[in-house]
Amino acid sequence: MNPQASHSLAQSRIAVLGYGSQGRAHALNLRDSGLDVVVGLRRNGGSWQRAEDEGFAVVEPADAVRDADLVAVLTPDMVQPALYRDAIEPNLKPGAALLFAHGFNVHFKQIEPRSDIDVVMVAPKGPGALVRSEYARGRGVPCLFAVQQDASGHAEARARAYADGIGGGRAMLIRTDFKEETETDLFGEQAVLCGGASALVQAGFETLVEAGYQPEIAYYEVLHELKLIVDLFYEGGITKMLEFVSETAQYGDFVSGSRVVDAGVKARMQDVLREIQDGTFARNWITEYAAGLPNYKRFRQADLDHPVEQVGKKLRARMPWLQPAETQSAVAADTVTPLVTPFKRVG
Ligand code: NAD
Ligand code: MG
């Protein structure tokens, strides 16, 4: 970490609210960077014991906020507005900083922060387990950072110091604003990473199985091997993927890829983006959450019940070596059981 940039948090107390995917990783990394961290959680919540077992002072959110110079809001997005109203706004010191890992609530005005505080964002471009395991290896996960409100005159320095503290400064920091981060993050997870990729896999699986091929073979072709391709993308882009697959696979890619994901798909991606930009998605999601998640639960169950999951469960039970390396090293580094499903979310 860069000692210069960390200076602006060196004398500060940081309250991390939430101890889930991001909260746990940030709290551990910040502490290992020598910073003063207190964790704020609901007393009856599931992560209280874990944060305590991992050596943190754990208090209720309002108490964590009261003494803090920087409050990192790392609870689920949908609980943040009430948390801000009840625990943060009445207790935050004048001149303190409020930090988010995603711009949703500020951008869509679910939280309208007090004008006497700094409002910043540090958004790691990876799940919490990776933020932790990369840090433990002396590396980091690239982060976006943004300043929404600079009351102290030091908002950017604080955001950069926080990003350094979680290891992002060892990798890459990219300046953005709340609007750009929010809209691109939502688009990425909906169109490509979570929504697009799982729909592509399900459709490919169904196509093979409905044509009479064995589900086990279909699973390997359209789901299991996707990781090998994505790893090549990650390391060297489409260029590296093309270098590592056969000429036959390349030719098939060229003539069939754009038939499957055609201009109609791109036009519908643009529809999805428009509904993110104009607030339709945010409004629908907030309404769905307030209604007790009826559609969310139904959609989720359909994903869990899909035949690719049934066959996948059986096959993965016979491939114990698939346990991700990141999880194993996170276990080694922290000597605790990893999160139940450390890679469950992109963010
Ligand atoms: P999570 O669901 O993994 O963890 C939530 C934590 O908040 C848990 O410890 C839970 O006990 C606690 N919590 C829930 N309600 C609470 C309340 N009312 N008061 C105090 N604590 C409460 O959340 P996450 O996925 O880490 O997301 C946190 C933030 O990080 C979100 O803004 C999200 O958009 C952002 N983000 C997540 C990822 C990711 O990979 N998961 C990536 C980038 C950004
Ligand atoms: Mg996200």
How would you write the pLDDT of the chain (347 residues) with one tens digit per residue? 444 444 589 999 999 999 999 999 999 999 999 999 999 999 988 999 999 999 999 999 999 999 999 999 999 999 999 999 999 999 999 999 999 999 999 999 999 999 999 999 999 999 999 999 999 999 999 999 999 999 999 999 999 999 999 999 999 999 999 999 999 999 999 999 999 999 999 999 999 999 999 999 999 999 999 999 999 999 999 999 999 999 999 999 999 999 999 999 999 999 999 999 999 999 999 999 999 999 999 999 999 999 999 999 999 999 999 886 555 444 333 333 333 343 445 56
Task: For residue 87, give the ligand nearest its CA.
Answer: 1
CB < 8 Å & 24+ apart, contacts of 308-311: 308/201, 308/202, 308/205, 308/215, 308/218, 308/219, 308/222, 308/223, 311/215, 311/216, 311/218, 311/219
What's the confidence (pLDDT) of residue 346?
58
Q: How far is the CA of 185 from the centre of ligand 2 (A)?
A: 5
> Which residues contact residue 143 at a Cβ distance below 8 angstroms, ignoring those fewer than 6 apart?
122, 123, 124, 125, 163, 166, 168, 169, 171, 172, 173, 174
Q: Are 16 and 180 contacting, i.e. CB atoms less than 8 angstroms apart?
A: no
Burial of 292 (0-12, 13-18, 19+ CB in 10 A): exposed
Alpha-carbon span 273 to 191, nearest angstrom:
9
Q: Which residues of 332-341 are buried (b: 16+ CB within 10 A; e: fewer)?
A: eeeeeebbee
Alpha-carbon span 251 to 257, nearest angstrom:
10
Q: How far is the CA of 126 from the centre of ligand 2 (A)?
A: 10
What's the confidence (pLDDT) of residue 8?
84
Output the residue whose Cα is nearest ligand 1's atom 40.
Answer: 127
Q: SS in 3 state form for the chain? A: CCHHHHHHHHCCEEEEECCCHHHHHHHHHHHHCCCEEEEECCCCCCCHHHHHHCCCCEECHHHHHHCCCEEEECCCHHHHHHHHHHHHCCCCCCCCEEEECCCHHHHCCCCCCCCCCEEEEEEECCCHHHHHHHHHCCCCCCEEEEEEECCCCCHHHHHHHHHHHCCHHHHCEEECCHHHHHHHHHHHHHHHHCHHHHHHHHHHHHHHHHCCCCHHHHHHHHHHHHHHHHHHHHHHHHHHHHHHCCHHHHHHHHHHHHHHCCHHHHHHHHHHHHHHHCCHHHHHHHHHHHCCCHHHHHHHHHHHHCHHHHHHHHHHHCCHHHCCHHHHHHHHHHCCCCCCCCCCCCC
What's the confidence (pLDDT) of residue 340?
36
Nearest to 98 by CA among 148, 43, 144, 141: 148
Output the residue whose Cα is nearest ligand 1's atom 34.
Answer: 102
Task: For residue 73, give the ligand nearest its CA.
Answer: 1
Alpha-carbon span 8 to 152, nearest angstrom:
12
Q: How far is the CA of 212 from the centre of ligand 2 (A)?
A: 37
Lateral strand order in the sheet of 118-124: 58-59, 36-40, 13-17, 70-73, 97-100, 118-124, 143-149, 173-175
What's the confidence (pLDDT) of residue 323?
80
As for ligand 1, residues whose beta carbon falls within 6 Å of it are 17-23, 41-42, 45-47, 61, 74-77, 79, 83, 101-102, 123-124, 127-128, 345-347
What's the confidence (pLDDT) of residue 324?
66
What's the confidence (pLDDT) of residue 345?
53
Alpha-carbon span 121 to 99, nearest angstrom:
5
pTM of this structure? 0.92
